[in-house]
Structure formats: structure tokens, C-alpha cells
Structure 1
């Protein structure tokens, strides 16, 4: 079978590597791919958001499956466009991808169907938003309504910080059209947990829990990023909590999307906070998370190609998906300055010395003379598995020390904090 994977980050490297394990898959393309993906797939110079280009390539090369992984092409309707040409595609259609593409849609859905989440209000006028902030005080959370590369959320500890975030989004155009509307949310406390699930429109099968680290610096300081590392499983996600989430969040969300005429098929990401009043939804994503995917897929024992086809065919309930009883830790190596300004083109050395981890490439490129250089903010995801989480963390950081590029930046506390 031939598979085309859309995207070029660490998540796509993990997806390609996992698909390559399937005995049924003998050819993988990746558009656009990156320097590491090129070792296992043929990289195609098509942007992930180029729907016409992807459709044209698919009509010519006839992949048996197209896996659309990033948020932007899903929100733009790439799956719809592929299906319209009779091309088999994995991922939600546009009308279901809105669960990530519009935070106000997601909040209204949860409110309508009594799915636990933070209190909220939606604004398009900055004066009205600021009045709401002054009435409710801080800490408070400001979110751009649309897609903002994982950087559209401000957890404001003061009213001044919240007001500045509103001005940046609505008046300053910091996130373009994605920030023309903002969702202002109640500040919640508790451990955060990410749970990804395969969903076929009606049935769902959850993956092992994970936890992301969004802030750029140690101790959860600095600006939000796309994610500086992840580990799996969560230290806090017990069997009892998992059952509560299944009954009050996971199944109700899938049923709500179906009831709204927007059946969700693909990977649905539940960003949760385990509050003193029980688990609540912080956000939904309409696809594999990054870097959670790098940690979670390392633990998959079943055939990902088979799972994706079962999702498309609405037969997920017939699958018995197996996961390893182990732990994984992914440490992101980023360019200095990320998530703000950073330089590209820095040569990466030492990856051949890595012995106990998988190095997933995210922002890398291959030069004409075969060198691997940096080409993005998040550069590599060094991911180790072990019998225990503490051992996986140790192994990942030991291998991080072997890899070098100018101005490399990491967090030193991935998986270490206990709260």
C-alpha cells in the first residue's frame, strides 16, 4: 500500500515512522516532510496547506491513503477536497475540524451538551472584553478564537496582562483573523493532561494519557509555545479519572458532534485539567498533538495503518488496539529565541551518537551536501521509552546532551514536575 502524509514536523515524523512499521505499507510520501522524514519517506515539495497541489499529486500518484495531520489543512477542508475526488483520506472534514478551528464553537458545544469546562465569554470588541476583565479580575485566560500555531493563549495573572492580550489580539492583529474574536475564560487550577483518541464518527478508542509542556522555559515560565516536550503516561490520570472522563467528556463530545451534523472522524485531542471539582476540558484539537504524538505513538503495538482504515470505515469498535505497558519522554530541542525570532541554517551534529532514543525531526532541512540544518523553531524531539517514566526521562536527557547546534534551547524539567 502507498500512503501520503501531510505535514513536516515532529508529529509527522512519528506518524511516518509508525506507518512504516506496517507490513502492508511499502511506500510513503510526505508533503513537505523534513530532513529526518526523508530517511523513511519520499518528501514532496508541496505545502501542507496547498489543497489543490495535494489533490493533484494524489490523482496522479494514487496513494491508497492520505493522512492529513496538521490543523490548518484540516480547517481549510483538505479531507473534503480529497474525498470529492474519490481519494481515501484520514482526518476530520471541515465541518468537524471547527472543533479546533473555533474556540467559541467548541465552548458553545460544551455549554449546550453539559460537557464540563471553564466558564467563558466571547468578544469581538476590545472595550467590551476589557470591561469583562475588570468585572471578573485576574488571573484569567485570554484565547484567540482561531488557529494560532499553539501560541494564541495568554494565562494572564494580572488585569493589565489580560488587557494587553486583548489589545494585541483584537486591535493589534497579532494573530491575524484568528484573533479578531477572543474567548475569555475562567482560570482553572490542577494538573493538565492530554488524552488523544481515535474516533470514527460514533465510536472512540483512547490512547495512553500524556502531558505537554507549553511554556518556553523551566518551571512553566516564559511565553507559550507549540510545546517544549511531553511524556506519557500522566502521573495523575488514574483509572477512576479515566472512567469519569469517558462518561462526562469523551463519549458526550463524540455524540454531540454527531448530533450537530458534524460527525468527527480522525484523531480528537482532549486537553484536560484535573481540577478540584473534577476533570474539565481546556481545549480540543482536531488532530494528533505535537509533541504528545512523539511520546504516545512510541507506545503503540498495533498497526496504525489498520487503525486509520478502521476509523475511515466506521469500524473502530471492531479493533483491539494494543499499547505497551511502559513510559515515554520527549524533550524538544528548539532554536534559540523560539517562540519569537530565531535563526535558521545551523548545522546539527551528534545525532549519530544517540543510542537510547528516537530523534524525531521537526524543523530540519537537508543541504545539498547531506548535512542536517535547523529550519524551524522546534528542531528535534528526542524521545526515549523505558519501563518507568523516571528512566525514560533520564535516557532522553542523556541523548539530548549528545546533540549540538548553535543556540540550542531546551527545558530541563520535562516530566519532572509532580504537579
Structure 2
């Protein structure tokens, strides 16, 4: 008889996931992710890559977690690449990339909450490729590099339990603050703060009423923009490219000159029935409510063998949100946007004092098809108290 033997860390691949991603800016892509860990799960490695179908845009990340101690430590490297092509052949093509190195330390407050601090180092890069995509066009202009240092602080609470696919009970939320300090130019510094809280209330058996509240703001010397509207992983999506905020900021989707802000802007999704960037600004506020009824699981008295019927849900929802820059548009004297009209030597600015809130309501259907969890929502959008034509939206993913 021999032993006992000291434990030796031996890594094994835990999973390999291939999925479809529909980026609102870059389009359809394929994502591959993997995870490795030792038997005791004291050490974990995550990695993934995403590339669009045309191979011109991509994401990549790698993360290592050290978990045997009371405080969890991590290190993560991210790379994001975006190619912006002009609408006309005379405009310039810009290639943007963001490299981010992040170190983290997370300490549990309880078995349901933790606080994290993560120093950040970033390099934002843009290259003018000229009016064509030939390889030698990279030499036409010197790349523009900007350097950032910063800190991310997070408070995470999770008291939720998943009893099935997209069937959740309990409460979870996150409060975060991120600061990006411009190292080569202080005028590029900006900060972000947001809160995202979700509650899932059981009504009967596995029928759940889910609500979500989200609020966020960019501030500092160079605040970035939220683009509100649409849903995550939306097939056949549409975006608005025109418009200006009440502070004079143009819609970044309609700007085809050099603009590194496109690397830091965020989509505020979950507003069904509206295009991406229907409203945009430095601050956003959203509310969602959804009644989820798993028909087969509620009516059946035993196990359900069909994957389609077991995960089938009918939903009824209500979404509401607003997005603005400067003063909040809740006062009748404040607006969320304005239009600029140019006629010869004259320029006029028409402020929009319409209802700043967008909202929609409708019904939906969810289930697993072809190995993916698909959602179909029929939404009636309401803008300035006028109800628009119903829109059918097809998306991939869970929750809101």
C-alpha cells in the first residue's frame, strides 16, 4: 500500500463552445470559446475568438483566474478590431483596434455578493487605409495611438437560481464604476458608472414575472455615448445614423471620419420595436418587464422529452427608455436632440421638445431551434405618444 500522494494540478478542457454572434456594428460573426481548469478548480483558463464572416472584424480574449485563496485574482487580455468603410468610394477606410490588459482582485462579502477592483491598461489605435483596401494603403498615414490607464470597481449581487432554460427566480444586479485616464493626452480621459438590477418573481409553478432596471452615464473630459434601441444578437437589424444630441454631438454611426470613440461607445439594448441608436447620448435609463410562461412545463405532469416543447415559452413584455446628453430631459425646457437645417448662408437649429421616453409593448415566443435559443418578439413601438406599425424581431440569446 502506497500513498497518500500530494495533489498535482492537471489541466483538462472543460468545454468548447461555437456560437453565432450578431454584432450591431460589425455584423454576423462566429465565436469559439473554451475553458480549462484543474480538478479542484483552483486555476481556470478562459479563451475565445470571434470573427465576422468577411474576416475584417474580430475579437479575442484570454483570461487566467487564481482561485485557491480567499481573494480571487485574475489577469485578462482583450483585443477588439473594427473596420469602418465609408458609404462612398471617395471616403477613407479606417481600421480601429483596442488592446486591453486587466488585472483583478475579487473579495466575497457574503455567499451572494462580491466586490472587485481591476486596474486597466489600454491602447486605442486607428489607421487610415485610404480609399481602397489594398495592403500597401497601410503605409499612407502613420497610425494614431492613444494610451489609457484606469480602474474598474464592481459590486455584484446574485441571489438567483435557474430551474430551466431562461427560467430564473430571485434577484441579481451589478453596480460598476470605470475610469479611463488618458496618458498621452489628458483631454481624452473619461469615466463611466452604471447600475443593472434584475428581479425574477415566481407566479405559479414555473411562470415568472421578470423586471429589469438599467441606468448608466459617461462623464469626464471626453464622455462617450450610449446608443439606445434594438436587441442583442438581432437578425436583419437596422440602425439610425442621423441625428444630433442636445449638446451638439453627432450620431457616431453616421461619422465616417477618424473617430476612436467608436471603440468605447456602448449599445443600450432591450428596447424592442426600435432601431439601434434611435436615441443616443451620454446617459441612459431603461426599464423592462416581461411575463414568461413555459407552456409545456406548466401544463405537463411529467418529464417532456422534446427539447423544443420543454423550452418553449410565451411572453408578454413592456419596454421603456430614454437617452440624453447634458441635463436630463424630464423638464419641458430640456430636449434630447435637435436638427440642423442649412439653407444657403443660413443655419437653423430646431430643438426637439417631444416626449423623451420611448416605449413598446407586445408578445413573444421562445424555444430551442437548430441548437440555438431563438426569440421572436412582435412589438408595437410608441414614440411621442404615437404607436407605430408592429415589428417582428428575431434574436438569439437569453433573458432581456
User: If you compute each CA radius of gyration, which structure gives the higher value, 1 or 2?
Assistant: 2
Structure having greater relative contact order (Cα 8 Å, sep ≥ 6): 1
Bigger strand fraction: 2
Bigger helix fraction: 1
Q: TM-score, normalised by structure 2?
A: 0.28
